[in-house]
Chain A
Amino acid sequence: MMAECVEEEETSVYVTGCEAAARAVIIAKPSVVAAYPITPQTEIVEKLSLFIGEGRHDCQFIAVESEHSALSACIGAASCGARTFTATSSHGLLYMAEMLYWAAIARLPIVMANANRALASGWNIWADHIDSLSQRDAGWIQFYTSTVQEVYDTILIAFRVAENEGVMLPVMVNLDGFLLTHINQPLRLVDETLYQEEFLDEINVPHALNLDSPHTLGTLISPSDNYRVQHDRKLGMERAKDVIKEAERDFLRLFGREYHPVMEYRSDDAEVLLLGMGTLAKEAEDAVDMMRFRGIKAGLLRLRQIRPFPDDEIIDAISRSPAEKLVIIDRDYSPGSGGILSQEVKTRLYDAGIVKEIVNVIAGVGGQDVSAEDMMEMVELERGEHWWGI
Chain B
Amino acid sequence: MVLVFVMSADKFKDRHGFWTNTIAREEYILKGNSSCPGCTAMIALRHIFKAAGPDTFVLVGACCAVVCEGVYPNTCMALPTLDTAFACTAAMASGVRAAVTDRGINVIAIAGDGGTVDIGIQALSGAIERNTDFLYVCYDNEAYGNTGMQRSGSTPFGASTTTTPFGKKEDKKDIAAIVGAHNIPYMATACPSYPMDLERKVKRALSIEGPKFLHVLTPCPPGWRISADKGVEVGRLAVRSCSFFLYEMENRELFMSKPSIDAMKNPIPLRDYLSVQGRFSRMSEEDMKLAQEKVNANIAYYREVCGI
Q: Which residues on A are within 8 Å of B, measured CB to CB?
A: 31-32, 34, 60, 62-66, 68-70, 72-82, 84, 98-99, 102, 209-211, 214-222, 225
Contact = CB atoms under 8 A, between A and B. Distances in A.
B126 A216 contact: no
Contacts of A32: 95, 98-99
B80 interface: yes
A71 B95 CA distance: 9
Contact of B79 (A63, A99, A214): A214
Given A62-B130, A65-B125, A99-B88, A214 B94 contact: no
B81 A216 contact: yes
Given A77-B98, A215-B75, A222-B72, A72 B84 contact: yes
Contact of B69 (A77, A78, A102, A216): A216
Contacts of B94: 34, 62, 64, 69, 73, 76
A217 to B, nearest CB: 5
Interface in B162-215: none
Interface of chain A, helix or strand or loop or mixed?
Answer: mixed
Interface in B79-132: 79-85, 87-88, 90-101, 105, 122-123, 125-126, 129-130
B70 interface: yes
B77 interface: yes
A204 B96 CA distance: 16
29 contacts: A31-B98, A31-B99, A32-B99, A62-B95, A62-B98, A65-B122, A68-B88, A69-B94, A69-B122, A72-B85, A73-B95, A76-B95, A76-B98, A76-B99, A77-B98, A79-B96, A80-B99, A82-B99, A99-B88, A216-B80, A217-B81, A218-B82, A219-B71, A219-B81, A219-B83, A220-B69, A220-B70, A225-B72, A225-B73
Nearest to B123: A69
A77 B55 CA distance: 17
Residue among A72, A78, A210, A222 with the most chain B CB within 10 A? A72
Contacts of A220: 66-67, 69-72
B273 interface: no
Given A63-B130, A219-B71, A219-B75, A76 B81 contact: no
A44 B307 CA distance: 54
Contacts of B73: 225
A78 B59 CA distance: 14
Nearest to A74: B95
Return the 5 tightest CB-CB contacts between A and B, nearest first. Answer: A76-B95, A65-B126, A69-B91, A72-B88, A73-B95
B80 A72 contact: no
Interface string B54-74: 110101000000110111110
B7 interface: no
Contacts of B130: 62-64
B78 interface: yes
A31 to B, nearest CB: 7
Which of A65, A218, A219 has the most C-beta atoms of chain B within 10 angstroms of its own C-beta?
A219
B72 A219 contact: yes
Contact of B99 (A69, A77, A215): A77
